[in-house]
């Protein structure tokens, strides 16, 4: 992958993050959007504009897709054109609640191949960068098996986002989990890439929620797939995601989804 792409992605994440820090725990006018991404503020929008401008100024021929604004698609683009996917504020509810678990997500894909993913927490300045060559946290390589004695920690952003069938399977898996973590949004996937969270179940995600976390989990040696086990494909309407530190855990949850009880 072009080193300039990585450099600009890191710069864009930091530029967007600076805006989020500026508005954090301040009084913001909030709009209600939809069921699964209900809240938006000027912090989201200003951060996305800053991120977009950083990318477009460096790569005017690339496609740029974001959460809050229309896609920027050059006239000569095709299936092989590099796509940038931006979620300027993943975890808006946490952000507006004053909780420091929100992140900036930036991804780079070409066709159905993930080239790069970034998770950036601008308060702690923790930055995960994932590529086919591996995943780093603040420049240090990480792997999901770095904590082999870690207890089974199950996670989801909110059980309210899970369908009744998935929620039943989630509850079944809780019987063998050491603890369950609720909340965290994109930050959860960074923790999984470090081996500190074992299994994440998410439903109703959008492309901008998913694109960046795929190369981060894969680059750290983890597993991430659809509920049916399929490879994550770009630009679907909705995503149901299993992310785990091992094939065993992925297969276990898929088995429970099929109606098999944990033993």
Residue 203 predicted with pLDDT over 90: yes
Q: How high is the pLDDT of residue 4?
A: 95
Q: Where in the chain is the domain with CATH 3.40.190.80?
A: 144-257
CATH number of 3-141: 3.30.540.10
Encoded tokens for 53: 């401008």
For 111-120, 143-152, 205-214, which range has the lowest pLDDT when averaged over its residues? 143-152
CA angle 166, 119, 98 (to 5 degrees): 80
Average pLDDT over residues 85-89: 96
Q: How high is the pLDDT of residue 32?
A: 58
C-alpha span between 142 and 146 (Å, rounded): 7
Stronger pLDDT, 23 or 188, i.e. the higher one: 188
Beta pairing class for 153-156 and 199-205: parallel
Q: Tell me if residue 84 falls in helix, strand or coil.
A: strand
Q: How high is the pLDDT of residue 30?
A: 56
Fold of the CATH domain 144-257? D-Maltodextrin-Binding Protein; domain 2 (3.40.190)
Q: CB neighbours (10 Å) of residue 189?
A: 32
C-alpha span between 234 and 101 (Å, rounded): 25
Residue corresponding to tokens 């993913």 = 117
- Read off the pTM: 0.92
């Amino acid at each position: 992958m072009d080193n300039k792409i990585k450099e600009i992605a890191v710069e864009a994440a930091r530029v967007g993050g600076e805006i989020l820090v500026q508005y954090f725990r301040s009084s913001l006018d909030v709009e209600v959007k939809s069921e699964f991404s209900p809240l938006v503020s000027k912090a989201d929008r200003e951060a996305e504009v800053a991120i977009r401008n950083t990318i477009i100024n460096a790569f005017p021929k690339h496609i740029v897709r974001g959460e809050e604004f229309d896609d920027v698609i050059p006239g000569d683009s095709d299936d092989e054109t590099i796509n940038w996917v931006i979620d300027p504020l993943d975890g808006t509810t946490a952000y507006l609640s004053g909780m420091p678990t929100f992140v900036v997500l930036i991804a780079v894909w070409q066709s159905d191949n993930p080239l790069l993913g970034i998770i950036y927490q601008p308060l702690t300045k923790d930055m995960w960068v994932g590529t086919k060559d591996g995943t780093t946290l603040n420049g240090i390589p990480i792997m999901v098996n770095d904590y082999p004695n870690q207890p089974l920690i199950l996670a989801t952003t909110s059980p309210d986002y899970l369908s009744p069938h998935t929620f039943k399977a989630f509850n079944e898996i809780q019987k063998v989990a050491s603890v369950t973590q609720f909340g965290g949004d994109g930050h959860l996937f960074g923790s999984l890439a470090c081996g500190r969270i074992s299994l994440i179940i998410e439903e109703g995600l959008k492309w901008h929620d998913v694109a960046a976390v795929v190369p981060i989990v894969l680059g750290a040696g983890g597993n991430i797939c659809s509920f049916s086990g399929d490879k994550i494909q770009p630009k679907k309407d909705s995503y149901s995601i299993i992310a785990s530190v091992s094939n065993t855990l992925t297969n276990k949850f898929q088995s429970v989804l099929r109606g098999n009880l944990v033993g």
